[in-house]
Amino acid sequence: DEATARRLHDEPRLLREVAGAGICHHSHIDTVQDAGKYDGRLGVLSGIEVAHILHDLQRFFDLPTVYPARSRALFVSVFVGEEMTFTGQGVSMPGSAAVAGHSGAESIYRMTDHEGQVYRKRLLVMLRAIGRAQRKGAIRLVNELAENADHAADLLRACSDPQDFFTPHTYERHIEQGDYLDRQRTPLMLVHTIMGIHQEDFYFAGDRAEEGALEFDLRLRELVLQRKEYANVRITGGTFDALDAEEPLSPIPLDVGMRWTLFGERDHAGATRNENRRDAGIAAARMIERFRELVAGQNEARETKWSTLCGGVEFWPGVNRNVIPGSCSVTLGLLGEKIGADEAFYLQQQIRAFVAGTLSLPVSGGGEGIKSCEMQEVHYLNKHVRLRFSIDLRSERASTTAHFLDDLQQTLKEVTEKYQLTCERTIEQELTPYQLEETGQVLQLERSYGGSHNPNETQLARDVLRGILMQVGVSLEFLETDGHRPLNLFRFVYDRLPAGWKERCPHFVSGALHDTCNISRAMQSKKGEVTVE
């Protein structure tokens, strides 16, 4: 009730005790561009639904299901920033990082997005909107935002301390974002291990910066496919930003110009297995290679000296490091004498044949899974000589990540020397793998369809219901346990899963980063304190 809520708000020490012993259903509400129908929101809305069910059980059936009728409480946390639209300051997923105590408010406030907007400014916009809703009576809060909306510092002070809501007993529901569970005929499973993640930005500069960055992207992917030790590594080039876009254009006239757009499928960088990818950025890099081969063959056969130019690269959506590019546009240009309409048409058709006959094949068949392509004749090329290219690297072993980064360093050296480029690097996020079975958190992944980080993601209604029933049943049993005893929630829930599901998925590894990671990281420092009940 409201009186209990206000008491907890007014007594932070009591709030920490209650939250620490309670169970928290949570996930995130921020999304990637044009997606997120289930990604994040499933865990938030289902958590709220479980809270409503327990409230109704006490209200209408006189069952003691709500604190303080039980010593343990159930609460729901709605996190922001999981998709890392805002980056920097060494912060990983600001909402859960603040709750887990990994990042202070001042560091989070200084984070920026790809447009240069500052987190603090956008947070204040949101808080003022909530404050207006509170003033109108549209929302009930124990925090007085409406009275402090005119002064930024007062508005921020009116918010609760995020660490007051920390608990080791977190329960996150999320769609799988892959096809493993569907192939195993299993509707849901708890994650044993979450892959570690290394996100890094590379700032290339030089006349052929775009060509070098694309080849770098391709060669990193080739490492994954060719080296057995990297079979389970996932590497993604997610953003490709021109840093000289605001400067005056210097268009280069072309004798033959083709503006190609390749359409793959945007998907989750961590959850999408290598063989299931349709990475348009990788496909564009291979198309450039094929274009050079064709021109070299023509030069040898005709004794000509045609030269190639490539640039104007655009990834879409290209704003999240953890999203596989769904499409990529690039201009292929040709300079030289005696280039007639027949020669230009021949090159166009050969490239179309390469897309249709090779790039359209699945990765396992030597292609890139490209669905279609478009070509427009152009007469100029606008190259970018300064750009930011990002990678998202995931592995279930820290040692594997370290070895891959050594190979990456050598590859970068070779590419920058080949294209005469300079390159500066900044690490944006670095997280070690998480063993949830040991630290005790629940990340319940559920089979999904239509890919992820795209508008087609969906889930079967009966699986949504299964997940809700699991949450309700576990929560009711959890609330009956002794609130003064530590409890490993992972094992508590895992013991209640059907034996057949566990046999088909004996050790479930997820490549996707989740807010659960920050909670697990906090508990790693307390290793040995968690016991099984």
Nearest CA-CA partner of 441 in 272, 271, 194 = 194
Grade residue 527 by pLDDT with cuts at 50, 70 and 90.
Answer: low
CA 406 to chain centroid, in Å, comes to: 24
Which residues, at least 6 apart from 526, have a Cβ–Cβ distance to it below 8 Å? 168
Dump the DSSP string for 258-317: EEEEEE-B-EETTTS-GGG-B-HHHHHHHHHHHHHHHHHHHHHHHT---EEEEEEEEEES
pLDDT for residue 100: 96
What percent of the chain has a predicted confidence (pLDDT) above 70?
99
Joined tokens for residue 97: 């990082």
What does the angle CA 328 – CA 417 – CA 408 come to, to the nearest 5 degrees? 65
Domain boundaries for CATH 3.30.70.360 within the chain: 201-430
What does the angle CA 313 – CA 117 – CA 383 come to, to the nearest 5 degrees? 20
pLDDT for residue 531: 41
Distances in Å between the alpha carbon of 495 and those of 285, 441, 475, 533?
Answer: 48, 14, 14, 11
User: CB–CB of 239/355 below 8 Å?
Assistant: no
Dihedral in degrees, nearest 10, Cα atoms 457, 197, 166, 473: 40
Residue 2 neighbours by CB distance under 10 Å? 8
User: CB–CB of 479/487 below 8 Å?
Assistant: no
Which range, of 62-66, 300-304, 409-413, averages the lowest pLDDT? 300-304
Instruction: Find the mean pLDDT for residues 63-76.
Output: 94
CA 85 to chain centroid, in Å, comes to: 9
Grade residue 384 by pLDDT with cuts at 50, 70 and 90.
Answer: very high
Joined tokens for residue 53: 């069910």
User: CB–CB of 201/390 below 8 Å?
Assistant: yes
pLDDT, one tens digit per residue, over 476-519 is: 999 999 988 889 999 999 999 999 999 999 999 998 889 999 99
For residue 356, the 8-state DSSP code is: I
Joined tokens for residue 444: 């319940």
Q: What are phi and psi of 121, to 5 degrees?
A: -65, -45
User: CB–CB of 218/418 below 8 Å?
Assistant: no
Distance between CA atoms of 156 and 148, rounded to whole angstroms?
9
pLDDT for residue 134: 94
User: CB–CB of 367/360 below 8 Å?
Assistant: yes
Query: Which CATH architecture describes the domain 201-430?
Result: 2-Layer Sandwich (3.30)
pLDDT for residue 289: 98
Amino acid in the structure at residue 445: L
Query: Is the pLDDT confidence value at 312 over 80?
Result: yes
Nearest CA-CA partner of 33 in 325, 448, 454 = 454
User: CB–CB of 185/501 below 8 Å?
Assistant: no
SS3 186: coil
What does the angle CA 172 – CA 427 – CA 452 come to, to the nearest 5 degrees? 40
Distances in Å between the alpha carbon of 395 and those of 155, 453, 512?
Answer: 41, 20, 10
Query: Is the pLDDT confidence value at 446 over 60?
Result: yes
Q: What are phi and psi of 513, to 5 degrees?
A: -80, 140
Joined tokens for residue 319: 């704003």
pLDDT for residue 528: 46
Has this prediction a pTM greater than 0.85?
Answer: no
For residue 112, count CB atoms less than 10 angstroms from its CB and return exposed for 0-12, middle for 13-18, buried for 19 or more.
Answer: middle
Q: How high is the mean pLDDT of the chain? A: 93
pLDDT, one tens digit per residue, over 222-232 is: 999 999 999 99
Query: Is the pLDDT confidence value at 37 over 90?
Result: no
Distance between CA atoms of 240 and 220, rounded to whole angstroms?
15
Query: Is the pLDDT confidence value at 532 over 70?
Result: no
Which residues, at least 6 apart from 135, have a Cβ–Cβ distance to it below 8 Å? 146, 149
Instruction: Find the mean pLDDT for residues 231-253.
Output: 90
Cα distance between the two ends of the chain: 30
Whole-number CA gyration radius for the chain: 26
Instruction: Find the mean pLDDT for residues 371-377.
Output: 97
What percent of the chain has a predicted confidence (pLDDT) above 90?
80
Instruction: Report the interhelical angle of 209-226 vs 280-302 (nearest 10°).
Output: 110
Residue 313 neighbours by CB distance under 10 Å? 25
For residue 319, the 8-state DSSP code is: S
Joined tokens for residue 131: 């404050």
CA 34 to chain centroid, in Å, comes to: 14
